[in-house]
Amino acid sequence: MTATVIDGAAMARQLLAELGARVEALRARGCQPGLAVVLVGDNPASAVYVRSKQRACDAAGLRGDNISLPAEVSQADVLALIDHLNADPTVHGILVQLPLPDHIDAAAVLQHIAFAKDVDGFNWRNLGALVDGHPALAPCTPSGSMLLLERSGVPIAGKRAVVLGRSSIVGKPAALMLLERHATVTICHSRTPDLAALAKEADILICAVGRPRMVTADMVKPGAAVIDVGINRLPDGKLCGDVDYDAVAAIAGWITPVPGGVGPMTVAVVVSNAVAAAEKSLLTA
């Protein structure tokens, strides 16, 4: 079998076009949706992500405000900025790009963002809503992964799903989303014995470990849907995922490439969450 390649870039463009129509409807009601992205320091990878979010805002018609702070900024000043953005009615979504410098407590900063503007879905209230099956603003990478599966026609209900990785940003919320869609879900991590054998049972395999090409073809069930969340930089500067792409593509049913898979869809979901936050703000105004 040769896998169907899930074109995340094309699906992200489609989603942004759909969002553009919702932005038009908001504008017609006098609401211009705005997303504020806060970048602290000069991490080059973060700068790339922030630029891609700006492009996605432009594509869907959102106002994107990029706020850059020097690496030495104090935590108090970051919190004060968030207070200001929380109170600004023209800002519907706030995203603080991670990682933050070591002297800043990232959890304190993320929890300071008003839950109604938390487009990352990291606020404990939003994560709690996801746990309880009433997702409000949900984390973007797993939401994007679910959209890729759904829009590719991958069956989920009743299937075995295995999530490699247990981060709060990807692994844990991805498992909850798959569970909500009636998959039987296993989460594997660095202390899981026989991880390869468990992975091979998966009809849907979400790979979010951050280790280049760790998922080899012998770990994949023929016909499985393989979602590669990893973005790893090789010594030669090239990007690769957590999946040994060529070998796995030869046996999987569906596969996402890196780049061009989960990444663009994640960015489109940031915009989607900002649009949803703006729509909700009109309901509560």
Catalytic residues: 53, 97, 120
Among 169, 202, 214, 219, binds ligand GUN (CB under 6 A): 169
CA dist 214 and 102 (Å) reads: 28
Is the N-terminal amide bond of 259 cis, ω within 30° of 0?
yes
- Candidates 63-71, 91-99, 160-168, 203-211; binding stretch for ligand GUN (CB under 6 A): 91-99
For residue 249, what is the enclosing H or E element? helix 245-249
Q: What share of the chain is helix, strand, coil (3-state, %, to 5)?
A: 45, 15, 40
Toward ligand GUN, which CB reaches closer, 143 or 186? 143
Q: Is 61 helix (H, G, I), strand (E, B) or coil?
A: coil
Among 39, 59, 91, 96, binds ligand GUN (CB under 6 A): 96
Neighbouring CB atoms inside 10 A of 161's CB total 26
Binding mask 130-159 for ligand GUN (x = CB under 6 A): ----------xx------------------
- Closest contact distance (angstroms) between CB of 251 and ligand GUN is 29
Residue nearest ligand GUN, CB atom distance? 98
Q: Is 95 in the site for ligand GUN (CB under 6 A)?
A: yes
Single out the residue of 147, 161, 139, 141 nearest to residue 230, CA to CA.
141
- Closest contact distance (angstroms) between CB of 98 and ligand GUN is 4
CA dist 266 and 192 (Å) reads: 27
Residues contributing to the site for ligand GUN (CB under 6 A): 95-98, 120, 140-141, 169
